[in-house]
Amino acid sequence: GAVVSQHPSRVICKSGTSVKIECRSLDFQATTMFWYRQFPKQSLMLMATSNEGSKATYEQGVEKDKFLINHASLTLSTLTVTSAHPEDSSFYICSARSGVVEAFFGQGTRLTVV
């Protein structure tokens, strides 16, 4: 099956700093990538949808200036958490889709802001 890779898998940063998370589709071109946030013992909450070469579409309640998404190529999307605070600590998951309905998920990134 298609492989989606996220990096890093785990990151700890100081409050006030920014963190970039990468999501790559390794063996297919992803026209659309999704970013999710998962709180402990809860479901995945869609944060935003990004299409290659255009601005991301954010879900209601998600601050676009805080969670910057760039989808510069068909194999790479990045999520930058700017001026991170402890409440941003969470598990972030990306998924990628290529023209078909099914999406493939990355392994997730555990962000801890101290």
Partner 1 sequence: AQSVSQHNHHVILSEAASLELGCNYSYGGTVNLFWYVQYPGQHLQLLLKYFSGDPLVKGIKGFEAEFIKSKFSFNLRKPSVQWSDTAEYFCAVNSQNTGNQFYFGTGTSLTVIP
Report the interface residues with partner 1, using CB under 8 A.
Answer: 1, 32, 34, 36, 41-46, 49, 57, 93, 95, 97, 101-108
SS3 at position 18: coil
Spell out a b/e string for 63-84, using b for 16 or more CB atoms within 10 Å of the CB, else e.
eeeebbbebeebbbbbbebeeb
32 vs 82, beta carbon nearer partner 1:
32
Q: How far is the CB of 104 from partner 1 (least distance, A)?
A: 8
1 vs 86, beta carbon nearer partner 1:
1
Q: How far is the CB of 96 from partner 1 (least distance, A)?
A: 11
